[in-house]
Every structure is written in structure tokens, then in C-alpha cells.
Structure 1
Amino acid sequence: MEPLPCVVELLMPPIMSRETHRSLENDGHRLVLHREETVRCHTRSARTVTSAWMDLAVAGQATLPPGTVLDGEAVVWVNGRLSFSAARARGNSTSKRASALAAQYPAHYVVWDCLMAGGVDLRSRPYTERRAALLDVLAPVPPPIQAVPATDDPEVALAWYEHLPDQGIEGVVAKLASSPYRATRVWGKLRHSETVDANVIGYVGPANRPRRLAVVLPDGRSALSQALAAPLAAEIARLVADAGPSRRGRTDDGEDYQTTDPGLVVEVEAGMTRHATVAVTRVR
């Protein structure tokens, strides 16, 4: 079988291309790591979270060359499985609490893209060039920082998809080998439980404990989510509490909500988006 023109990675994410790469996808916290004179970590929404992942920042300071920017996911292993709850606890903790959690459950940084190497911006380069740069940068770097596994062999990608869920791997991701880097998603996920990203435009309930979220789905529709689980509501409250005065808004179905500043992205179950409400699984 000839390789596809894409790459697949593990979800940690997998990647697929038209020259295709395939990779595995983990269940962790999206993290962009900047190594300049010091290390700074931030989320996809540009929230600085260095203190929550100080063990990864220290590892990056010690092993990565200045002028490096990496995009990936912070993951935590518990009893031989990737644990999203453990990663969420780390990501939402205070500096003191994060230090205690790191001693018990140290984090790993699974990297799937290289945005800058040697001070050179690589975001406009094809994925295959960025992947090669990523492997060069990480070649001398030991764990806990490592590149996500990737392949252009469909049979290998299928084996990953079928046999690795027991380790907490969610699925695989496919990306065109010729694609440049985009902050928005330009790759496809194949999960055992499929999800999509949605932009948060508001919430229902008090800002310090939102009960539901108003989101814009990939097809442009606005809708309210189902009730948020308590830990997720607490996490989101910290992100919207400082957004300033809100206004009243309405979804496409006429349901009221309080607006919030743009920038927050959440993951929702894809199967729910055909209905009037969606189920939020995590903050991206």
C-alpha cells in the first residue's frame, strides 16, 4: 500500500496528510512552550500557565535551545494510563498545589509541532518541514519532553487506533503534509469518542459559578450547553470572572445568556451538536 500524502499522530494527537502523517492523540492540556532566555507556557487562549507546569518549564529551560517555540500537550500518567483528570488538576492548580501534584504525578510534554527553531519562524512552512525541525530540536532532549509518534503508513495508524485506547490514547489525528501551521484546527481527528471545538460567547448563571455555556459551533450555530460539571464550572469561572461587564445575548434558538469576551475555546461532543444543546468536555 502506498503511503497517503498525510501524516497521522497519536491523539496526544495523531496526524494524517495528502502526503499524510498519522499520530496518536493524548488526553491532556494544550500547551505552547516558548524557550527564550526563560521558559513561558501558555494555553491556546493565551493564558499563561507556567506555574502550573513548572516541572516542564524547568525541563525546557535545561534542554531546549533559545529561540524555540513548541506546540503540544501536557499529559499525566496515572497507573499506566493517561489521566485527563490528573492533567486538569495540574492545569487548574495554584503554584504550591501544582508543586505537590508534580511530586506525585510528574507531567510529560508531548509535542506535535515546532513553530520556531533557532529563532526562525516556521509557521508558514509545510508540516513535513516543521516535523523534521521538531525531530532535530528534540533529538538530544530526554523525557519529559518528547515528540508525538507519527507515521505515514495507514496500517500503522490503524493499529494505533485499534490497540492503544487501553493506555488512554483517544484516537489519531490526520494532517496534510503540505499544510502550514494555523492557530485554528486544520487537521482531522478520528476519536473513539468524537469531539469538536466551539467558541464560548457567554454563560448562564453567575460568573463565579456558570451553570451552562453559550457557544458557537463549527457550522456557525449558537447554542447553550448542557449543565456543566462542578470542576469544569469552577475552571471556566476563573476564565470569565475578569472579563468585565457583560450584556444579554440570545442563541439562535432564542435562549438568553450573559456575554463574555471572545477567546475561550471548549471541546464539545460532536454527536450532541445536532441538537439544541451540546455537552462540554473540557477547556481547550
Structure 2
Amino acid sequence: MDLPVKPPVSPMLAKSVPNIPDVGHYEPKWDGFRTIVFKDGEDIILGSRNEKPMTRYFPELVEALRRNLPDKCVIDGEIVLIADNKLEFELLQQRIHPADSRVRMLADKTPASMIAFDILALGDDDLMVRPFSERRAILEKALAHASAPVYVTPAVSDLDKAREWFVQLEGAGLDGVLSKPLDGTYQPNKRVMFKTKHERTADCVVSGFRWHKTAKVVGSMLLGLYDDAGRLQHVGVVASFPMAKRESLVAELEPYRIELSEHPWGQWAAQSEEDTGGTRMPGAQSRWSGGKDFSFVPLRPELVIEVAYDYMEGDRFRHTTQFRRWRPDRTPESCTYEQIEEPADYDLSEILKLP
């Protein structure tokens, strides 16, 4: 490709902050696959956050980008999947599949969209050293006539509006708010932007643990919640502990260890993603696991902890949770989905002006 910025490029990142800072530019934080698009005439490369190409997984998007982007450019953005005016990350994940026939079937059934939010090059000009205020203006002009499924992310300069978005947009499946300094240059793999995400707490049953990948200490604890039928459902993990705590947890959890056959999740351990209807259960392999060992040590479901989380996706935590405290005052049976806060629905078309 004859471009001033050549692949691969690591995307610029954001660091988490509890409150939205006053920096003058705010955007919705999209929940999808971070992607840098390289376009030289008809040639398109979709580069992922880990710098591996994703081009083959989104054939419908490649065609849309050929129609909507300038002849030579490098665009930073997010591949998302919009269904019923909400973001659906679980459906987006299904697009990463080894079978080309399935990829093309899903491209037709659940087409993806591209949200552009930065521009690294246009024509023969490398824009990475320009301040973000200039890059944003160039991006808006370059994509002024773009149409669905290619969009320029909405943005505001008003801090109060950004705070309003933070509350409203969660109901449409958005992650939070990104804050970008207007004078910042593009710095690959550096956390120079700011992200503000929701945090809530929930009491969960500790249902097992996985060993740390480098030492014989606890790597993560598996969390469960009871559904309306009284079944203990796997909802995610908690994994952020100092090494000393990981060591002490081995002894703390030892009295609760049981055989897998005695555990509510024992039947799932040998199942694949396809066996469970597309939902990976604890200990099962998936196309995302890369052959890693996800087996777990089963525990009697008697311990309860409070964890912090940002939001639920379906019936599971979207991201790894954070440990807050043990809850010896709570019974496992009281840890149900009823405690989970449901954000108010919000129509994504109000942001993207979907037809």
C-alpha cells in the first residue's frame, strides 16, 4: 500500500478516570472491535487492536468502506453491530469464525457498521503529528458524504451534555464517554485519552477458581447468580488481586473444593461452544480461547462476595469485575439477577440518526 502511514499501527488508547474531565471534546465510547482502516484505492486492510488483520471477517464492510472513504486514507474507529437500535457485542463476536461460508452468511444476516472517530492519514499527508482538533475537522470533511453503515462518531464540546450522554446512552449498549484533549497528537499504544465508564456493585456466589498462568496461586474466581428457576448461572469472573492476596486465597478456598461431578457446572466442563448454543460455559473451549486452558477448580457454592461491574451484556458481566469485599452476611440463594440494575432503554438512532 502506498500510504504515508502503513500497517500495522497500534491504536491510541484511553485511561480510566472516575469522572468526565473538562478537556473540551467528548464522544460516546463504542463497544465493538477497535479497528484501523487502511485504504489505498480498492485495497482495504482492517487492522485490529492487536495489529492482526480482520479484513476477511467483514466482507460487507469492506465494500461499504470502498464506497464511502476517500481514495487514500487511514481511519481509526470501531466496528460495531447494531440490532434493534442497540449495540450487540455478542452478535459481533460471532463474526470471527474460521469458516468463510459462515462469515458470509452472518455478513448478510447481521451486517456490521463502522464508526470513524479519528484520521491518521489523508492522501499523501501523515496527520498523526497534527493536534486532534485539526484531525477531527479533517475527518468530518473527508466523510461528509458517508452513508450507512459508515458513520462519523457524534461529539460535543459541552461538559454538561457529555454527562447527560453518560447516563442516557448506556440503555443503547454504549460503554460510557471518551474525553479527548484537543491539542493531543496521535500516539499509538499510549493512554493519552480518558474513558469514564459506569460502575455498580453486585453480590455474587464464588463458584470456582482458575489457577494463575504463571504461579500456583489463584488467578481468577468464577462468579454465579441464581436465575428465576433456581439455577446457578455463570456470570463472569473477578481477577484483580495483589500477588499476596492470590497466595492467601489458595488456603481460604481450600475447604470449599469439591469434585467436578458434584458441582452445578460439572456438566459443562467438556462441552464446546457449539454444544451450548454459542455460549461458552466455564471450562469449555471456544474459538476465542486460542487453545488456552480454561478449566476451573470447582467450589461448593457457599461463599458470597461483592464485586464492582460496569454493565451486563445479556445475562453476564461484559468485563472482568473488581473485588470489593466478602459478604458473610449474605446467603448464596439471595444472590439473584433481581439485584442487577437495568438501564433505561435509549434509541441509538437518536445518536446516529439511523434510517
Alpha carbons 1:73, 1:110 under 8 Å: kept: yes
CA distance change for structure 1 residues 97 and 125 in 2, over 3 Å: closer, same or farther?
same
Q: How far apart, in 2, do the equivalents of 1:273 and 1:71 lie? A: 35
Matches within 5 A, 1:214-229: none
Matches within 5 A, 1:98-247: 98-184=103-189, 185-193=191-199, 204=213, 234-237=287-290
The offset of 1:230, in angstroms, is 6.3
CA distance change for structure 1 residues 231 and 99 in 2, over 3 Å: closer, same or farther?
farther
The offset of 1:92, in angstroms, is 4.2
Q: Within the alignment, does 1:24 sit opposite 2:28 as a pair?
A: yes
- Deviations along 1:176-214, one digit per CA (max 9) or x if unpaired, are 1111112223111111149xxxxxxxx849xxxxx98xx
Alpha carbons 1:92, 1:235 under 8 Å: kept: no
Alpha carbons 1:18, 1:177 under 8 Å: kept: no
The offset of 1:128, in angstroms, is 0.8
- Deviations along 1:135-169, one digit per CA (max 9) or x if unpaired, are 01110111111111111101111111111111111
Aligned residue pair count? 217
CA distance change for structure 1 residues 88 and 153 in 2, over 3 Å: closer, same or farther?
same
CA distance change for structure 1 residues 180 and 232 in 2, over 3 Å: closer, same or farther?
farther
* 3-state SS of paired residue (2:288): helix
Alpha carbons 1:175, 1:188 under 8 Å: kept: yes
2:322 — aligned with what?
271
* 3-state SS of paired residue (2:58): helix
The offset of 1:271, in angstroms, is 3.0
Q: Counterpart amino acid of 1:234? A: R
The offset of 1:93, in angstroms, is 5.1
Q: How far apart, in 1, do the equivalents of 2:323 and 2:127 lie? A: 36
Matches within 5 A, 1:250-269: 269=320
Q: Which runs of 5+ in 1 are unaligned?
A: 1-15, 195-202, 206-210, 241-266, 275-284
Residue from 75, 83, 88 that aligns with 1:83 = 88
Q: Which runs of 5+ in 2 are unaligned?
A: 1-19, 201-211, 221-238, 247-279, 293-317, 326-355
The offset of 1:79, in angstroms, is 2.5
Alpha carbons 2:33, 2:80 under 8 Å: kept: yes
2:313 — aligned with what?
none
Alpha carbons 1:73, 1:109 under 8 Å: kept: yes
Q: How far apart, in 2, do the equivalents of 1:89 and 1:117 lie? A: 32
The offset of 1:83, in angstroms, is 0.5
Q: How far apart, in 2, do the equivalents of 1:31 and 1:20 lie? A: 24
* 3-state SS of paired residue (1:31): strand
CA distance change for structure 1 residues 36 and 112 in 2, over 3 Å: closer, same or farther?
same
Alpha carbons 2:22, 2:159 under 8 Å: kept: no
* 3-state SS of paired residue (1:235): coil
Alpha carbons 2:30, 2:78 under 8 Å: kept: yes
Q: How far apart, in 1, do the equivalents of 2:99 and 2:324 lie? A: 34
1:243 — aligned with what?
none
Q: Counterpart amino acid of 2:322? A: G
Q: Within the alignment, does 1:73 sit opposite 2:100 as a pair?
A: no
